[in-house]
Amino acid sequence: MTSRFNLYKYSSPATFYALAGKMIPWFYGAAALLGAVGLYISFFLAPTDFQQSEAYRIIFIHVPASWMSMFIYVVMAGWAAFGLAFNTRLSFMMASALAPTGAMLTFVSLWTGALWGKPTWGAWWVWDARLTSELILFFLYLGFMALQAAIDDPRRADRAGALIALVGVVNVPIIYFSVRWWNTLHQGASVSMTKAPSMATIMLEGMMVMALAVWMYAIAASLSRVRSIILERERNTQWVAQLLETEV
């Protein structure tokens, strides 16, 4: 009972604000370290691809960004669903905090995909099933943020945004399985849970380290943002007034 009670206390914005502040430096530090190691492996240790030459190295940024763009949306929808089910303020705040990072990584995925597509396909963009569904994901992120910004009442904004998040989550499996369901130009998954990876071990290691770096960054950025949201939403509470007094 005691451990469960201790977990429940972090659902309070005031308690979570302090916890997030302690975690943020560690996640940013891990992101910087893993990013440096991942980039070194990806651009200096990984061999040149015999088909795509040096152009393939963009995948070490493109693939982790693509993975995280989908994963963050699922997590965002999960927080939104939790908020609707249990009416917890912090859940809605976490969903709002995740959206900008998810949108940024989706943009990185699309842009690096274009940089890879030009030398590979001879075009910056094609209306491929994978590319189009990823673009829809980007618009879902933007729609989520725009709708929340357009509604003055935070409670109504949270619920409206949650509905978009829950409806849009259907797009995530479409992105993932698009290369199987349709005849697309986009290559299939190089990493799968059911078969051996179709790349050299050092390439796989570089991609996994970069994926961890992006993951750590996404957590740190979201925690930083949720602290700002907490302060904005709780600005009229006594604990925020006391916090501002101690900082001043």
How far the first Cα of the chain sits from its last, in Å, is 38
53 phi/psi in degrees, rounded to 5:
60, -140
In a domain, 18, yes or no: no
Contact 145, 99 (CB under 8 A): yes
In a domain, 11, yes or no: no
The CATH code of the domain that includes 116 is 1.20.120
Domains held by the chain: number: 1
What is the pTM for the complete model shown?
0.88
In a domain, 16, yes or no: no
Contacts of 82 (CB under 8 A, 6+ apart): 88, 91
**pLDDT by residue, tens only, the chain of 248 residues:** 444 445 566 678 889 999 999 999 999 999 999 999 999 999 898 887 767 777 778 889 999 999 999 999 999 999 999 999 998 999 999 999 999 999 999 999 999 988 887 877 778 778 888 888 999 999 999 999 999 999 999 999 999 999 999 999 999 999 888 767 655 655 555 554 445 455 678 888 999 999 999 999 999 999 999 999 999 998 888 887 888 777 65
In a domain, 110, yes or no: yes
In a domain, 4, yes or no: no
Instruction: Name the residue with tokens 């986009």.
Output: 186
In a domain, 183, yes or no: yes
In a domain, 6, yes or no: no
CB atoms within 10 A of CB 64: 26
Q: Which residue range(s) make up the domain with 139?
A: 23-247
